[in-house]
Amino acid sequence: MIRKGAGAMADGATAARRSPLEGVLPWTVDSGSVTLAELAFTRQLELRRRARGAAYLANVPLPLEPNRVSAMREVRTLWLGPGEWLITVPDGAVPELPARLARALEGGRLVLTDQSSSRAVITIAGVSARALLEKGCGLDLHPRSFAPGHCAQTLFAGLPVILDQTGAAAYRLFVSRSTARWLAEWLIDAAQEFRAP
C-alpha cells in the first residue's frame, strides 16, 4: 500500500493539476550560461526500510552509500538517510512503478509514501549553474566533492531542499511547493550577473 503524503492528490484529481511555477519558468540568461526549468509533476515516492536489505527493490536501484544516486532508465533514486530513499520518475513515465513497488512491500518492513504533490522540482543547467547554486548553498559543489551521481539534503537560500546533480553542469532542486515560486524568483534574480555584457 502506498501512503499519500502531505499535499498528495487523489488519482482522479490529475486533470486539475497546476504547476506552482507556471508563468515563472522556463527562464534562460540571454548568454545561455544558465537555464532554469521545472520538471512538472515528477513522481516522487519516499521509501523507508527499517533493516538493511538488497540494493534493489522491484528492479529499482537503491543506493547504499550516503548522498549518492542510482539510476535505471527514467527512474532515479536518491539516498536521503539510512534506510530512506526518494524514488523519482518523470511525469507519465513508468506508470506501473507505484503498483510494482507496492507489491514488493507486502509483508515487509517497508513504507512507501507518495510525495509527488508536496515538492516542485527545478532544474538548473548551463556553464554557470554551479556558480549560481554556490550563491545560495553552503555545500562544497566543486567536482572533487560533489559530482554527477551525488545528492544532498541541505538549506538553499534558507529553504530546506534536496539537491541532485544529474550531469556535469546540470542539477535538480526539490523544494516545497509552497515556497517554489519564491525560490524560482530568487534564482532568476541571482542569475542576473551571468547576463552577457
Is 159 inside a domain boundary? yes
Query: Which pLDDT belongs to residue 120?
Result: 97
pTM: 0.89
Q: Are 105 and 88 in contact (CB under 8 A)?
A: no
Total domains in the fold of the chain: 1
Is 14 inside a domain boundary? no
Tens digit of pLDDT for each residue in 8-51? Answer: 444 444 457 789 999 999 999 988 899 999 999 999 999 998 77
Question: Cell numbers 529499482 label which residue?
Answer: 60
Is 15 inside a domain boundary? no
Please, which pLDDT band fits residue 4 given cuts at 50, 70 and 90?
low
Is 118 inside a domain boundary? yes
pLDDT at residue 1 greater than cutoff 70:
no
Query: Which pLDDT belongs to residue 10?
Result: 45
Is 157 inside a domain boundary? yes
Is 16 inside a domain boundary? no
66: containing domain = 2-9+21-194
- Determine the Cα–Cα distance for residues 85 and 115; give it in Å rounded to an integer: 12
Residue bearing the bigger pLDDT, 109 or 96: 96
CATH of the domain at 175: 3.30.1360.120
What is the CA 77 to chain-centroid distance, rounded? 9
Is 162 inside a domain boundary? yes
